[in-house]
Amino acid sequence: MSEQEIFMPDPAYLLQVRHLKQYFPVSSGFMKNTKLKAVDDVSFDIRQGETLGLVGESGCGKTTVGRTLLYLYKPTAGEVWFKGRQIGNKASLQEYRRRAQMVFQDPYSSLNPRMTVADIVAEPLDVHHLCAGKTERENRIRELMSLVGLNAEHATRYAHEFSGGQRQRIGIARALASDPEFIVCDEPVSALDVSIQAQVINMLEDLQAQLKLTYLFIAHDISVVKHISNRIAVMYLGHMMELAGANELTRHPEHPYTVSLMSSVPIPDPKESRKQKRIVLEGDVPSPLNMPSGCPFRTRCSRASAQCAEVCPDMREISSGHFVACHNI
């Protein structure tokens, strides 16, 4: 779809994103600014009740996509549609911010150290005026804490008294407080021990089934994303490279960047691991302040052609539900 076409929302999808861009001004000298293109023309849809995984290396724009979706950053350009309604004006934003929440990456810095757990969890209740009185508020706090596996006596304690896994549970309880339909999970387990990661992932899956939640799950670990996601999108330098079902993308990656990513995933079986051929990309990731012309991946791509330097490829469907942004596939 070109930017000139009129977009018609599809009721089959909870969230639809079209041509999302997020540029940040960066000082490049006296009275001069350069645009850092953190997210550049990203489009995707998420169905009600599904989990879309978003993967890519550090600095590719994954977190910026999540924060821009929730209007923590105002989009430079593009459209976000939620339940068939375009988000933008004050009235739509107020309801959207109640129905769309975020679980942050770092449970150590995302919780206010001066607030008790009860006040942290109840903050969305207070902001959106969801409780009629003190008793209803206290009952709702206990209910939310029970949902994420915390005891009622934890309510009067402070965040620094808890382990990393427990802090992330507090953050998840806070995200659930406003009864959301859509949650952006921004690398929610990357700061946790491996054993705790499994517990949090399983809890997120149970909550999704119980509360009919829809997730955008952002991570750099493809094995974690594959476990929890229905579909996976791959980002590189602010652009979406590939989008497909989780099994399809991990078994049959098509984009050269995705193929390289999949070759770096460790295999537990030593015999199979020795057979695995890792594809090492040449060169360094270009600076988003000085993007290459055409395809952003062409400077590191073994398939790059003259066309790649001239035109940035659009996402096109190469098989049912499998989209790739590449001229040479």
What is the Cα–Cα distance from 136 to 155, expressed in whole angstroms? 15
The pLDDT score that the predictor gives to residue 88 is 82
What is the Cα–Cα distance from 235 to 14, expressed in whole angstroms? 21
What is the Cα–Cα distance from 159 to 144, expressed in whole angstroms? 16
Task: Provide the edge-to-edge strand list for the sheet that holds 214-218.
Answer: 100-103, 182-186, 214-218, 51-55, 231-236, 239-245, 322-324, 316-319
What is the Cα–Cα distance from 260 to 233, expressed in whole angstroms? 15
The pTM score is 0.91
Residue 17 lies in a domain: yes
Residue 2 lies in a domain: no
Other Cβ atoms less than 10 A from the Cβ of 176: the count is 21
Domain that holds residue 83: 13-324
Beta strands in 196-255 (DSSP E): 214-218, 231-236, 239-245
- Element containing residue 180 per DSSP (H, E): none
The pLDDT score that the predictor gives to residue 2 is 46
Cβ within 8 Å of residue 156, ≥6 positions away: 116, 117, 118
The pLDDT score that the predictor gives to residue 273 is 61
Alpha carbon 1 to its chain's center: 23
Residue 3 lies in a domain: no
CB 110 within 8 A of CB 92: no
User: Residue 256: which CATH number?
Assistant: 3.40.50.300
| Residues linked to residue 149 through DSSP beta bridges, in sequence order | none
Residue 211 lies in a domain: yes
- Consecutive 10-residue runs of the chain (329 residues): their mean pLDDT? 66 93 88 89 96 93 95 94 89 90 90 94 93 93 95 92 93 96 94 88 96 95 90 96 95 93 75 68 82 91 90 93 93
Q: Name the region of 237 (left: φ>0; alpha: ψ -120 to 50; beta: rest).
A: left
Residue 217 lies in a domain: yes
Q: How many independent structural domains does the chain possess?
A: 1
Is 15 exposed, middle or buried, given 0-12, 13-18 or 19+ CB atoms closer than 10 A? buried
| Residues linked to residue 215 through DSSP beta bridges, in sequence order | 51, 183
What is the Cα–Cα distance from 285 to 246, expressed in whole angstroms? 25
- Map residue 239 onto helix, strand or coil: strand
Residue 212 lies in a domain: yes
Q: Three-state secondary structure along 120-139?
A: HHHHHHHHCCCCCCHHHHHH
Residue 6 lies in a domain: no
DSSP state letters, 181-237: SEEEEESTTTTS-HHHHHHHHHHHHHHHHHHT-EEEEE-S-HHHHHHH-SEEEEEET
What is the Cα–Cα distance from 125 to 56, expressed in whole angstroms? 34
- Map residue 251 onto helix, strand or coil: helix
Other Cβ atoms less than 10 A from the Cβ of 209: the count is 9
What is the Cα–Cα distance from 104 to 187, expressed in whole angstroms? 7
Residue 79 lies in a domain: yes
What is the Cα–Cα distance from 84 to 95, expressed in whole angstroms? 13
Q: How many residues does the chain have?
A: 329
